[in-house]
Structure 1
């Protein structure tokens, strides 16, 4: 009985340590999952453990002149649906797209939008300073 208890305790501690070891951390999620365009610059990753879902949010930016290339990359490799649309004061995807990365099994929400701008035609994108890509990984169930 003592051996069974000690074995169970050891197995439980091992599982607890393994789970803590495997917990996701802030990172450049797009580069971890593949090969994004070189024009896409990783800016930062922020952790918000106090928020619902304890999200890790990676932020990227791309110059307006290269935004179309990143838009197509997100559509082809991450399943972002449709082209960016101009709404009020900037360009944006229609909400966030959910994507499950096959190798890790992790689920991400991805969106893209421009900084605030009055340029409302796609041909004017080179005049826009930056577009931003946001990738969110929730580390807890929502």
Structure 2
């Protein structure tokens, strides 16, 4: 390759290399699929960045049919350490749980809950139409 062509291409090659070294960065996506083997009963609903919250997390939401809620809770406990859901007032809720992906260094906060429900026992969870799982992804420490 002639020196003039190399001199012309060198700045572009440098920029391409620098961009690749930086990494893609965290963006909205199906975080649970990216992090591991997400079961089919955790149905990805979408993601958006919440610019109104501190650190502007990416909020990925999932729906779980009540008949699969105990399986989903067990999976999230085993895979990510989610605390057991408890009944508070008129809904089932876990406390928010955070963890860090050791491969990327990104932090995540996980929550599983229902809306208002009259269901008072775990045995009756299949009567609840839908549970919601939210995974907040943070590019910087929350």
1:92 aligns with 2:64: no
Deviation of 1:37 after TM superposition, in Å, equals 1.4
- How far apart in 2 are the matches of 1:20 and 1:129? 43
Q: Is the 8 A contact 1:61 1:131 kept in 2?
A: yes
Alignment of 1:60-99 (within 5 A): 60-81=62-83, 83-93=84-94, 95-99=95-99
* Unpaired stretches in structure 1, ≥5 consecutive residues: 1-10
- Alpha carbons of structure 1 residues 75 and 49: separation in structure 2 relative to 1, 3 Å: same
**Could you state the TM-score of these two structures normalised by the residue count of structure 2?**
0.81
Aligned runs of 1:103-118 on 2, under 5 Å? 103-118=103-118
Q: Which runs of 5+ in 2 are unaligned?
A: 1-13
Q: What's the Cα RMSD here?
A: 2.3
From the CA coordinates, give the structure whose radius of gyration is larger. Answer: 2
Distance 1:18 1:36, change over 3 A: same
Aligned residues: 130
Counterparts of 1:101 and 1:23, CA distance in 2? 13
Q: 4+ runs of 1 displaced by more than 4 Å?
A: 17-21
Deviation of 1:140 (Å): 3.7
Which residue of 2 is the match for residue 49 of structure 1?
51
TM-score, normalised with respect to structure 1 = 0.81
CA contact (8 A) 2:26 2:138 kept: no
2: CA distance, partners of 1:119 / 1:22 = 44
